[in-house]
Structure 1
Amino acid sequence: MTIPLKNNPKVSIVIPLKEINQNLKECIDSCLKLDYPNFDIIVLPDKNSKDFKSSSEKIKVIETGNLTPPKKRDFALDKTDADILAFIDDDAYPVKDWLNNALVHFKDGEVAAVCGPAVTPASDSLRQKASGEVYESFLVSGMHALRYKSQKITLVKDYPSCNFLIRRSIFADLGGFNTNFWPGEDTFLCAAITRKLNKKIIYDPGVLVYHHRRPLYIPHLKQVVSYALHRGYFVKRGLNPTFEITYFFPSFLLVGLIFGFVLALFSHQLKIAYLALVAVYLLLVLIFSISKDLRLIRSTAPKALSSGDGNRRRSVSTLSKPQPLGWGASNGLILLKFLGIIMTHIAYGFFFLKGLFQTKLKEE
């Protein structure tokens, strides 16, 4: 049985990155403004930069050499005596009460890890915001959309490591991420927590970070391709914490589009049916592309939040709530999102299938 933590346990915020960059400064500045006293920040670049000067005694910069993010996080294990390891990406930054909101859950000895949404910041470009809204869409992320927008407190079985806090003792017992895979390393850690240890991973909307997106289209799709390839391979190997039929939906769509088109060439009736189904799909994508904008237009003022809300959406709901864009920008966002959802489906569907038939990935 895991022992509940003492008051104000020490937290090490671990930031793995390739090289020192401008996003890191934003991340560190936000971390230093946290309303929690007992923490330090471990920055893990391949090589330190002469231009980077630590602005606080809380910051430790440790060169790791050419390691992947999961290997860097494993590396941090021996560099701290903290009770909790808080993983965050260098292109993300936390809200002020990030740690306080997370540490509440560690009072329960059965909770091994805590996570929260990584929402798109208002400062992102239009194409970055479009990428964020593609990920937020139910048509793309399904029940996993809580990774990109605030939803109620719940248990999860798989979660990205860009906003993930874990007991150091458990991380050490599991040998860290203990995998060469990246991305997808978090799947192995979460599977070990929920399957091997039978412990809980809590999602709380108050454990919120802002995460800069990769803009549509090429950078966004490169990320999707990498996710899909690894997810397909993990499904083949039985490495996912849970089997979800929704993983296959983009591939079903892609195969249906290709074979439907071929069959439609030989039959007028099949051609009509094929075009009708394609029209239904495009209509669904359009509806999901404009639905968020319609909700924003209808909301004329922010609603007061109950202080006794059991799901603790708290002030986070207003912090992460997007503001309506101007007419031209809104139209541009809708078009980007519409095309982005379609291209994400096609890219994910193809590379998920490729992962299923892959005999080995480059990390092995």
Structure 2
Amino acid sequence: MKDVLVSIIIPVIKVNDFLRDETIPALLKQTFKDFEIIIVTDKISNEQFSKTKIIASWPRTGPADKRDLGVKKSKSEIIAFLDDDSYPEHDWLENALSIFKENQNIAGVCGPSLTPPQNNIRQKASGYVWSTWLGSGGAGTYRCAKSSRREVDDFPTVNLLVRKKDFNSVGGFDSHYWPGEDTKLCLDLTKKLGKKIIYDPGVVVYHHRREVFGPHLKQISRYAIHRGHFARIFPETSLRLGYLLPSFFVLGLFSIPIIFMFFPNSLLLFYSLVYTTSGLLLYLFLLFYTATGVYQKEKNIRLSGLVMLSIFITHLFYGILFIKGFFTPKLKK
């Protein structure tokens, strides 16, 4: 295969229906045509797709190792990362490449990963956790909703393009971390190399959400543990107020019964009750305000209520597991 300008790398366990029915067809409809698709699987596949090569990484490896292998096999200047359950807008590559042309100091380009309109109500509720101000917290709504163009220093690989030379300069992904290998890569690109990552709302990908509650909370739990761990070892991009707030929320809730147990008749209990009650009332107002915004957009009262409950439970899980991750000496690979 001749050299191309962009290599699109997708790590998977095996070729699935998302790839067959959505991702690859969407890539083949790109307005920019000079690209290759590299799918890295656990085991070799005999399936064939246009512009695509399938590489086996057996024995089984994680997403970071698969992406690193895909980069080694690529024939391009620009590497584009997607997940196997995502698909881009038709002008995704064209818009991203125009940003790279602006400045050689731009090492990466990224954009929003939106909830697909065909997702069911439980997936949409998960999507609103990610895309609303109250739900997303430290992650920022711009990751999962269109927002203004900006420079960022942390972004997931569901929609991230990087210059191959810069990727290789920092040694690629750190496979010890999953999830979180993308956070470490962005940290290296922006802090070690001093390069820029530009977020642009025109670089659009659609990403299927995990259903609430089980699959969604399983994903959130992994993110919370790694973000908490990163807050201690990589504070430059992870020790931020938005990531800490769910833990403060949880600590506030659990402090009342503890104070009541040890200081039942004290002013400490009185003031704790006042502050906690005030905080809960504010939180409930923000939940209702968020749900109202969802209803105005979707005209679905059931979805609005599900979003409220999903945000609350997400904050509880995230807040507890963030603390666990912060105090975990070393994460298992």
> TM-score higher than 0.5 here?
yes
Q: CA deviation at 1:170?
A: 1.1
Tell me how far 1:178 sits from its aligned partner.
Answer: 3.1
Deviation at 1:139, TM superposition (A): 1.3
How far does the alpha carbon of each residue in 1:134-188 deviate from its partner, in whole angstroms, 9 at most, with x for none? 1112112236110000011110011111100001111112211133110000111
Summarize the Cα distance change of 1:74–1:243 in structure 2 as closer, same or farther, 3 Å threshold.
same
Taking the aligned partners of 1:246 and 1:95, their CA distance within structure 2 comes to 30
- For residue 156 of structure 1, the aligned residue among 152, 156, 161 is 152
* Total equivalences in the alignment: 321
Matching residue's letter, 2:310:
G
Structure 2 counterpart of 1:106: 100
| Contact 1:264/1:270 (<8 A) preserved | no
Inter-partner Cα distance in structure 2 for 1:253 and 1:114: 34
8 Å CA contact retained: 1:42, 1:76: yes
CA-atom RMSD in angstroms = 1.9
1:264·1:271 contact (CA, 8 Å) conserved in 2?
Answer: no
Q: Which residue of 2 aligns with 1:337?
A: 307
Partner of 2:12: 17
Structure-to-structure mapping, 1:79-158, within 5 angstroms: 79-107=73-101, 108-142=103-137, 144-158=140-154
Q: Report the more deviating stretch, 285-294 or 144-153.
A: 285-294
Identity among equivalent positions (%) equals: 41
Pairing partner for 1:62 from 38, 55, 58: 55
Query: Structure 1: which 4+ aligned runs deviate by more than 6 Å?
Result: none
What TM-score do you get using the length of structure 2 for normalisation?
0.91
Match 1:354 to one of 319, 324, 329: 324
What is the Cα deviation at residue 115 of structure 1? Answer: 0.3
Measured in 2, the distance between the counterparts of 1:169 and 1:221 equals 36
Per-residue CA distance 1:103-123 (angstroms, 9 max, x = gap)? 011111110010000000001
The answer for the alignment partner of 1:44 in structure 2 is: 40
Q: Which runs of 5+ in 1 are unaligned?
A: 1-7, 297-323
Deviation of 1:237 after TM superposition, in Å, equals 1.4
* Rounded Cα–Cα distance in structure 1 between residues aligned with 2:148 and 2:272: 44
2:293 corresponding residue in structure 1: 291
Distance of 2:64 and 2:236 partners within structure 1: 17
Q: What does residue 25 of structure 2 align with?
A: 29
Structure 2 gap ranges (5+):
none
| CA-CA distance at 1:293 after TM superposition | 2.5
Distance 2:74 2:28 in 1: 18
Deviation string 1:310-349 (CA, Å, 9 cap, x unpaired) is: xxxxxxxxxxxxxx34xxxx11111110010001110000
Equivalent residues of 1:16, 1:73 under 8 A apart:
yes
Q: 2: CA distance between counterparts of 1:12 and 1:30?
A: 15
Deviation at 1:47, TM superposition (A): 1.3
